[in-house]
Structure 1
Amino acid sequence: MSTEDSHDDHGHHLPAVEDWPRGFGEASWWPFVTALGGAGIYVAAALYVLGTGTNPLVGPMVGVGVAVASVGLFLVGIYGWLYHAFVSTFWSRDADSSGGAGLRWGMLAFLGSEIGTFGALFTYYFFIRSGTGWSTTGLPDLVNSLVLANTALLVASSFTLHWAHVAIRNDNRRNFLLGLGLTLLLGLVFIGGQVLEYYEFIVEKGFTLTSGLFASAFFGLTGLHGLHVTLGAVIIGIVFVRGLRGQYSAERHVSVTTASMYWHFVDIIWVFLVVVLYLGAAT
């Protein structure tokens, strides 16, 4: 690797070995950093539970602090990973290279692992629902105008993103940027709506993670989904900024495709959450 190539990475590339070949698949520490951040989120959830109750084993804010640090580490890792995979060699990569197909398959593999993660939590939900400890007594009104509006916003964002994706494939940069901007805005409003929902449940109604078996499943599933939407908004934001800089065309839009795959997956999970968790809670 030449000195000039090393400088072009702006310090974002951290190879495991200096003589590793450049291009898709080269060694990098960023996936490892991202995985550490993701694992820390689960550790934070455990510490939060250990910090509540009559005899807490740790301080009540330990879990919160670890969660904030883990989310930060996760987002930093995602930024470095995306920069290294898509941005740093964008202009030097051939538009018809096999790397595009590899990145799409990589996203499919990643989404497969995400299905496993959500599947495990849904399995936990159905398990506790079938048990003797299941109870819906004291639950707040889950199906309200806020969750319905949030659902409509997230579903609409899939349509605006698809519109943007079709536009760039037709080399229509104006509609591409408009659709992408609308998608980002709708995603941010959805995140704000979920924060408001948590505030109403936790502060105003006293419905918390320790309010029972259903509460643990509810906050586990919706919290994990909220993290994924936040990550999706970061990805869409990066794609939007790159679009403003003219880095996409009908021939070069691999990261638009992979970002769309991720965002549509998050939307589908939310619809399933609403049907199973919100609508099905009291039935």
Structure 2
Amino acid sequence: MSTPMSRNQQTANADIDVSNFSRHLNGQNAPIWWGIIGLILIELSVVSAFTVTYLYLYMQHPQWPPNDIAPPPLFIPTWSTILMLLSCVTMYLAGKSVEKNKSKGFVVYTFASVIMALLVLWIRWQQFDNFDMRWDQHVYGSLLWTISGFHFIHIVSAAIGTAAIGLFGMVGFYTKQRQIGVVVDTMYWNFVAFAWLPFYLVLYYFPRL
């Protein structure tokens, strides 16, 4: 008959050798990677809800925008959209610089992205001043202000987070082995940039159809 193991023996059998584990987890091995995926999925549901709500109301109204309101100007928001997409390129180049342990290139590309985001924010702020309706004037005005403000706040958060990443890069914190912070920041940045595309289409093109 086998005898019951002592508590010390049970503890010894439960030990796991972690001597070969890396201190620096990257990609899907890092819990924060899954955390940012969860955050993106949550915010993607909000983006989808806003877009579907807009399209539903658009299809229910024979005239859109209502009350003979002119659609928002197209030229300036198009340029802000281009800037946001270009910032994804510089963020990609920043990540590649980290993989090559090129701190200077990482800092330059990161702050180039932040500068483009600040330009987009300035453009959006000018647009807010030029909207022809209040947020509480009618359902179209509510959607225009809510969606624009929602994405404006997301650009602010992405710019602040990326500026912090850039400051850490200035002191050489990020390396090829220690880059998970850059990876998740880039993922969120790309989400913020591409989440604007459905908003851009419904806010600026659908009123012209």
- TM-score in terms of structure 1 length: 0.62
Q: CA deviation at 1:143?
A: 3.7
Aligned to 1:175, what secondary structure does the other structure show? Answer: helix
Within 5 Å, give how 1:117-132 maps onto structure 2.
117-132=46-61
Aligned to 1:231, what secondary structure does the other structure show? Answer: helix
Q: CA deviation at 1:134?
A: 5.1
Counterpart pick for 1:114 among 30, 39, 43:
43
Q: CA deviation at 1:200?
A: 1.5
Distance 1:139 1:248 in 2: 50
Give per-residue Cα distances to partners, 1:203-228, cap 9 Å, x unaligned: xx3x2212322111111111111111
Does the CA-based 8 Å contact 1:168-1:248 persist in structure 2? Answer: yes
Give per-residue Cα distances to partners, 1:84-137, cap 9 Å, x unaligned: xxxxxxxxx922489962110110011000011111212211221122475324
Change beyond 3 A, Cα 1:212–1:134:
farther
Aligned length: 187
Change beyond 3 A, Cα 1:178–1:97:
closer
What is the root-mean-square deviation in Å for CA atoms of aligned residues?
A: 2.0
1:101 aligns with 2:30: yes
Gaps of 5+ in 1: 1-92
Counterpart pick for 1:265 among 186, 191, 202:
191
Match of 2:5 in 1: none
Distance 2:35 2:165 in 1: 18
Change beyond 3 A, Cα 1:166–1:135:
same
Distance 2:152 2:27 in 1: 33
Change beyond 3 A, Cα 1:145–1:102:
same
Counterpart pick for 1:180 among 110, 113, 117:
110
Change beyond 3 A, Cα 1:238–1:210:
same
Gaps of 5+ in 2: 1-21
Aligned to 1:246, what secondary structure does the other structure show? Answer: coil
Counterpart pick for 1:242 among 154, 168, 186:
168
Aligned to 2:208, what secondary structure does the other structure show? Answer: coil
Give per-residue Cα distances to partners, 1:140-178, cap 9 Å, x unaligned: 442432112211111110111111111111111121111
Distance 1:98 1:220 in 2: 34
1:165 aligns with 2:100: no
Distance 2:70 2:176 in 1: 49
Match of 2:157 in 1: 231
Does the CA-based 8 Å contact 1:128-1:134 persist in structure 2? Answer: no
Within 5 Å, give how 1:44-59 maps onto structure 2.
none
Does the CA-based 8 Å contact 1:187-1:233 persist in structure 2? Answer: yes
Change beyond 3 A, Cα 1:174–1:127:
same
Does the CA-based 8 Å contact 2:51-2:198 persist in structure 1? Answer: no
Asked which structure has the greater CA Rg, the reply is 2
What is the identity, as a one-letter code, of the residue corresponding to 1:248?
A: Y
Higher relative contact order (CA 8 A, sep 6+): 2
Counterpart pick for 2:74 among 144, 162, 171:
144
